[in-house]
Amino acid sequence: MAAGLLVGCSSKESDPAKPDDPTTPVTPTPTQYGTPFNAVPDRQDAVIYQVNMRAFSAGGKFAGVTARLDSIKALGVNTIYLMPIYPIGSLRGVNSPYAVQDYTAVNPEFGTLTDLRTLVDGAHQRGLAVMLDWVANHTSWDNAWIQQHPDWYQQNGAGQIISPPNSGFTDVAQLNFSSAPMRLAMISALKSWVYTANVDGFRFDYADTPPADFWKQAVDTLRNIKTHKLLLLAEGNRSNHFTAGFDYIFGFNFYGGIYQVYKNGAAATAFDGLNTTEYVGATGTQQVVRYTTNHDVNGSDGTPVTLFGGQNGALSAFVVASLYKGVPMVYNGQEAGMSAAIPFPFTSVKVQWDTQPAITRAHKQILKARAASPALRHGTSTGYSSADVCAFTKVDGADQAFVLANTRNTSVQYTVPTALANSTWTDALRGGSVAVGTTVTLPAYGYMVLRK
């Protein structure tokens, strides 16, 4: 969109404390709270856990998350991502956490800054990094910027501030990325949380709408904080997010592949091509985040249990999303086997913990196998899928893995490729030796994770 282009903007502008325009007020860098976390995982080794504060605990507060940090850690994740923690606008509002009223404050619904710091401290003590959700594209209609800086927003021909075009999001106002002062204020607020709450990165909402040069400017600034190793996730699938310097983009298309294969019977070979198309533009260890549910699709589509053929189908899909390629993400409650969706605005349903220990244990097994194997974490993958079975190998040096996941609710016989036939492996989930002949019979939604 034309208003989203900043003509002549240079991506060299990497520190909002040094604006090109000397008339722009400079926000001093806040004092660092705590000690920067020195155990942030390498980006290719992250396993992300999404927390929806409102649904996570009965009280819907930071303290409810802090109380379950040991359980989160035990699942096998190493990075927590908190949905937006900022005050929510009420003017034209629908109680959405993504309608931010103040980028520099904590939503009292969840607790105080001290409570947030306690959560972050507790996570760090357990070896868990913490990312915040950031909504850069738009604000609430009662954000102070509306009155103070109307030129920071897109306007129509009559000079009226507008909602994000063609989105249906009438509860928020579209920011104008041709405004250099707005960009600087946004990036300054973003940067401040690294200091005031000692967080370890951000997930950037609706990242496909702001222009690439803004993201380059923001990422460059964050990378210039040399005291912190930050994980940066764009909730978008533009290939230029990789060019902008993000660690991750969002696996929208891989989720769509899972939906088509498990729900609509598409061929399991679809996953092989997505490993190519979703990684266009990626270099080095840049990754795609993959999932079987998140706050958006859980409410709109349903839970993995209801979508993918019950608990066994949900687990089979989780194997594919977590092990084939990329970085896995777990949405709170899926590890508890929830069949009830968490609908927007996330206030009516609470996660019911510890009701299906076998499902929780299965998630732990899959993530533990991934953590123990360099090949499963970031090895080179080769697809051997059939119409019904997602099958692939992964190799990292001497470490090899062979994964098979039946995508159907019926027993399937899989013909083993010649290169893998008559081989011996170790069962990475249950232990023991497994001899693979020329065929493998998998029960309905059955899966095998083998390693040698």
How far is Cα 241 from Cα 248, in angstroms, rounded to an integer? 8
Indicate the DSSP class of residue 395.
E
Instruction: Give the number of C-alpha atoms closer than 13 A to the C-alpha of residue 207, restricted to the C-beta side.
Output: 30
Tens-binned pLDDT, residue by residue, of the chain (452 aa): 322 222 223 333 334 333 344 344 556 788 999 999 999 999 999 999 999 999 999 999 999 999 999 999 999 999 999 999 999 999 999 999 999 999 999 999 999 999 999 999 999 999 999 999 999 999 999 999 999 999 999 999 999 999 999 999 999 999 999 999 999 999 999 999 999 999 999 999 999 999 999 999 999 999 999 999 999 999 999 999 999 999 999 999 999 999 999 999 999 999 999 999 999 999 999 999 999 999 999 999 999 999 999 999 999 999 999 999 999 999 999 999 999 999 999 999 999 999 999 999 999 999 999 999 999 999 999 999 999 999 999 999 999 999 999 999 999 999 999 999 999 999 999 999 999 999 999 999 999 999 99
Give the pLDDT score at 10. Answer: 31
Give the pLDDT score at 360. Answer: 98
Give the pLDDT score at 29. Answer: 81
**This prediction's pTM:** 0.93
How far is Cα 135 from Cα 229, in angstroms, rounded to an integer? 21
Give the pLDDT score at 26. Answer: 55
Residue 291 backbone dihedrals phi, psi, to 5 degrees: -155, 165
Give the pLDDT score at 28. Answer: 77
Burial (Cβ within 10 Å: 0-12, 13-18, ≥19) of residue 300: exposed
Question: Residues in the chain, how many?
Answer: 452
How far is Cα 128 from Cα 149, in angstroms, rounded to an integer? 38
Indicate the DSSP class of residue 41.
P
The type of residue at 440 is V
Which tokens hold the place of 149?
């800086």
